Amino acid sequence: MTPRPVHTNRAVWWSLVGLTGAMLMLHAIGWIATASVFWEQATLHLPRIQSAIVIGFGLLVLRATAAPRRWRRLVVLCVLVAVAVAFVAAPLPKQFNLPAAQGESLMPSGSDAGRSRGEFENRFRVWQGDVQFHSHLADVAITALDGAFGRSATSPARAYDALSTLAGLLFLLELGIAAAWHRWSRQSCRYVGLALATPLCLLFFGQWDLGYLTVAVGVVPLLALAKGRMPVPANAAGLVAGALQGLHTAFHGFGLLGMASGALAALGPPGTALRRCLSGATFTSAAVALYLGWIFLYVTFGRLSLVWEREVGYRPFFESTVFEGKLATPLFSQAGLGEFGLFSALAGVPLLALAMLWTRRTMQVPTMLYALPGLVFIVRWWPTSAPFNLDLLLSIFPGVFAACWVLAASSRKSMQALVMLVGLHVLLWTTVGTGIFARLEVTP
């Protein structure tokens, strides 16, 4: 009776390996096309001070993990406080004033709304009784902040800055909880260091957009606990992880990728089919409750109506199309593959490839399951404001956290990952400074 489940598990494992490997191969082809385009067209730009801050603190945490538990705990807590101060003290520039991108905004959708009272109220219409469904909780939160700052000509900018700071504090709080949950283990502390060094951490330096609110950095460490033997801690971890992901999805709908990732990963740990289904149902039910439960409050107490006015751009495969007045190049072309490879790299997919080369088989299944939704979505996604809409470009791939967790198990692999992250920071600022793959407007 035992060979049957063994063969079934092997079949599932080989299927996941084949699918994930095929997706990573496609992403790797995109990286090669990106390197070719950058070699011919791009001019190198060194990272700005914000990148130096997060990389430096990430390195400090990685180095401190060799110390005894109480000392590395102290270092991690001090670093988290210092990074929180840096989020406020060193905000990102709202314009990127370089010759190739003169006056180009780093925050296309938020820049106008943050500087214009009329644009802000046209985007966030909570006072008029409407809430955009794709970012319903973020709309309510930023409108409340705007009201707290007096609904003046300058309050939209202050509301955006405050929202970014609060999101950054939540990001750091989740990292601290993850490390404490794992009793300040070396792996959990290394995870903190790698997460701090990712380019997406730059979004908390005063980003005037909402897409980065999908980032739920605490989910992966909580789901990692679900492989324990006792069902109560496993279910508790899945419940908290699901609630956390649902909260972030309520802030921005692209968090649905994280919900899909977490639901799949909850099915990965060894155990009976019933236990796996229970883990997946626990995560999913908590996520859905925190994602949609707010709507009851909007309708019942706020008397608000939900509206949907957003479209997601999808990349064509073989022929160019026009979306929102901009030309979308097909995936299977040099420009399309190069653009796709760039967005894949900025999102952190190379870290997943590095993790897959090293991780043990027992960790491969949940890691691949967590990464697959993002891997597939990046292939089809066509962002209309690229490459300057950093809020989505840097937070679209939740699998980067699974990669960071796996790589954090080894000191040597953590340092390799940090070196790769430095390269991604250079790639980011070179992309922004050169304005490469900027969208072409199409005249009707």
Q: Kindly report the CA angle at 331 between 329 and 333, in degrees rounded to 5?
A: 75
- The pLDDT confidence band at residue 234, using thresholds 50, 70 and 90, is low
**DSSP string covering 6-74:** HHHHHHHHHHHHHHHHHHHHHHHHHHHHHHHHHHHH-------HHHHHHHHHHHHHHHHTTS-HHHHHH
pLDDT in tens, 60-96: 999 999 999 999 999 999 999 999 999 999 998 876 6
Q: How far apart are CA 286 and CA 216, in angstroms?
A: 14
pLDDT value, residue 179? 93
Q: How far apart are CA 60 and CA 418, in angstroms?
A: 11
pLDDT in tens, 283-322: 999 999 999 999 998 988 888 888 887 778 888 898 888 8
pLDDT in tens, 239-290: 899 999 999 999 999 999 999 999 988 876 666 667 777 888 889 999 999 9
Residue spans per domain, the chain: 3-434
